[in-house]
Amino acid sequence: MDREATLHDVAGKVGVSPRTVSRVVNDEGGYSPETRKKVLAAIEELRYRPNMVARALITKRSGTVGLVGGDMTDPFFPALAEGIQHRAREAGQTMFFASTGSDPDRQAEVLRSFWARAVDGVIVFPALDSIDQLTDYGRRGLPIVVVDDLVEAPNVACVLFDLPEGGRLAAQHLLSAGRRRMGVISATVSPPRRRHRERGFVAALTEADGDHLPAVIAEADPTVRGGEAGFAELLSLMPDLDGIFAYNDLVAIGAMRAAAASGRRVPEDIAVVGCDDIEMSTYITPALTTIRLDRGRLSNEAVAALHDLIDAPAQRRQPVVLPVELVARESA
């Protein structure tokens, strides 16, 4: 438990200046092969590792990226966090993680903490009403990738799924299965301006049949529990409901459970379409028909966009829109 070796220690051991050791550590060139060899040997012997904290203090780069999520226990999230962490590490970066529970105050706290620790950039699943925060940090120079929302500001890039198309696909699938009395379960954590899947769904219904097709909307937590509650609400609005589009797969699963509990069969009486395509959806009975969002793709695009932003901060860029697809299984 002695002190860790420093650049200075290595220099002393070899008999060169710290500047020279710094050169070889960072592969800058400008030293003889012998010098290099001796320095490397000393580094090995002293187990020298560059102190990233000291380096960060000068360079303003800490080799870290921050991931700001809503809630790690949302099954949509882990694969994403894993992918981002993986990509970041390939670039020599370490990942911070913090969740906000969609609360803007907690998001502010998280951003402040990340900023004070000199993160190179952040990937954010924005909390409710937090665009101003993000714009502000972007202006102050923090590279930000926003997922699933549009914000225009310096140093901010956006990556999103084509959720309107997802809603449309769900509607078409339900319609072609002969469903005519539809309900959608939206999420309380999703502000009106971000309800793209719902809008796509309703738009497709309208296109299909003028505005004569009724559609009721319920709001719920984005959980299985929420889905159960949402189903009850939908039913109270439209007792002869025969098709449901759910905010996500968890909600869809909740809706199916509530349907079963009320004596209705899925898909015979009520067809259900989810969104996300989490692993569980293939294992439940009936297996869930859903809109697949490719999380691996999202991880890659988000990290790529972030590195882009870090390398060329000035340049503005277009939002990246990721395609979605409908996966037909048993529930619809």
57 is a contact residue toward DNA (CB under 7 A): yes
Q: Which is nearer to its own copies, 125 or 201 (CB)?
A: 125
Residue 1 interacts with, from DNA, its own copies, none (CB under 5-8 Å by kind): its own copies
CB contact set of 67 (below 8 Å; sequence gap of 6+): 81, 84, 85, 95, 96, 97, 98, 122, 123
> CA geometry: angle at 28 spanning 114 and 48, to 5°?
65
Say how far apart CA 72 and CA 78 lie, in whole Å: 6
User: What are 147's strand-pairing partners?
Assistant: 159
> Which tokens hold the place of 174?
């339900």
130 is a contact residue toward DNA (CB under 7 A): no
Tell me which amino acid residue 47 is.
Answer: R
20 is a contact residue toward DNA (CB under 7 A): yes
Binding piece for DNA, criterion CB under 7 A, among 3-11, 133-141, 264-272, 296-304:
3-11
What is the H or E stretch that residue 185 is in?
Answer: strand 182-187
> Which tokens hold the place of 60?
């303003």
35 is a contact residue toward DNA (CB under 7 A): yes
> Which tokens hold the place of 89?
């590490």
Count CA atoms closer than 13 A to 214's CA, side-chain side.
9
Say how far apart CA 322 and CA 195 lie, in whole Å: 16
Q: Which is nearer to its own copies, 200 or 254 (CB)?
A: 254
Choice from 1, 2, 27, 29 touching DNA (CB under 7 A): 29
Contact set with its own copies (CB under 8 A): 1, 4, 49-54, 56-57, 62-64, 71-73, 75, 77-79, 81-82, 85-86, 89, 94-99, 109, 112-118, 139-141, 154, 224, 253, 257, 279-280, 283-285
30 is a contact residue toward DNA (CB under 7 A): yes
Say how far apart CA 201 and CA 277 lie, in whole Å: 17
Choice from 1, 12, 13, 25 touching DNA (CB under 7 A): 25
Choice from 6, 135, 172, 188 touching DNA (CB under 7 A): 6
Binding piece for DNA, criterion CB under 7 A, among 2-10, 70-78, 94-102, 172-180:
2-10
List residues binding DNA (CB under 7 A). Answer: 3-4, 6-8, 15-20, 22-23, 25-26, 29-32, 35, 48-51, 54-55, 57-59
